[in-house]
């Protein structure tokens, strides 16, 4: 059974975190790695975003990256999980990774009493038509990277400056719909994500 490493990175600047992900992949690790963190305020542009340009002078900065998807926001109060998985050591096809992460996250939400749904056409998790979780992944050298961001109690006013992920929807916070301790939620998700790599 392949080892799963957990890294708790606290609040970290986006580009520094991205550089660390690429650095780990370049080391060809013999384990899966799940990173738990929050980002300093930033908009990131996925490879599908064609209308909005990178602007590091914007507040928050708009940073081009190589994940899937369009534009999204990261900031304090949003819980991020990054998955640096050895795709040869997963119990499912690499093409199923995004779907598996969404299903695992959504099942965890249901377990705590949240009435959430997955939108597979525009990948993410929604509550009452508002987006509570966004996902964007990438594969390099047979490893996955990037991951899922969950709006726990973040600045949705800034998030909604742009349409989340290029969609005509608004972002919402999990705490708007359910009362749960953040650490408890994180621990439940970590357990679920580890199980995902083993079964």
**Catalytic residue list:** 165
* Residue pair 116/132 in contact by the 8 Å Cβ criterion: yes
- Contact by Cβ (8 Å): 147, 32: no
Secondary structure (3-state) at 119: strand
Distances (CA, A) of 132 to 4, 102, 116, 153: 26, 12, 9, 10
Helices (H) and strands (E) in the chain, counts: 4, 10
Of all helices (H) and strands (E), which one includes residue 192? helix 182-198
């Amino acid at each position: 059974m392949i080892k799963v490493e957990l890294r708790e990175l606290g609040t970290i600047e986006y580009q520094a975190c991205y550089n660390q992900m690429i650095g780990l992949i370049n080391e060809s690790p013999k384990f899966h790695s799940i990173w738990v963190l929050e980002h300093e305020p930033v908009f990131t542009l996925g490879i599908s975003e064609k209308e909005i340009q990178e602007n590091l002078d914007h507040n928050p900065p708009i940073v081009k990256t190589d994940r899937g998807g369009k534009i999204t926001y990261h900031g304090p109060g949003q819980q991020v999980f990054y998955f640096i998985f050895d795709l040869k050591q997963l119990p499912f096809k690499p093409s199923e990774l995004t779907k598996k992460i969404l299903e695992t996250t959504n099942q965890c939400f249901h377990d705590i009493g949240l009435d959430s749904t997955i939108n597979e056409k525009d990948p993410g998790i929604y509550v009452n038509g508002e987006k509570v979780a966004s996902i964007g992944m990438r594969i390099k050298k047979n490893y996955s990277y990037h991951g899922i961001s969950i709006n726990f109690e973040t600045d949705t006013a800034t998030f909604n400056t742009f349409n989340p992920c290029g969609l005509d929807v608004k972002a919402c916070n999990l705490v708007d719909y359910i009362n749960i301790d953040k650490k408890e939620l994180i621990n439940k998700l970590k357990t679920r994500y580890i199980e995902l790599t083993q079964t």
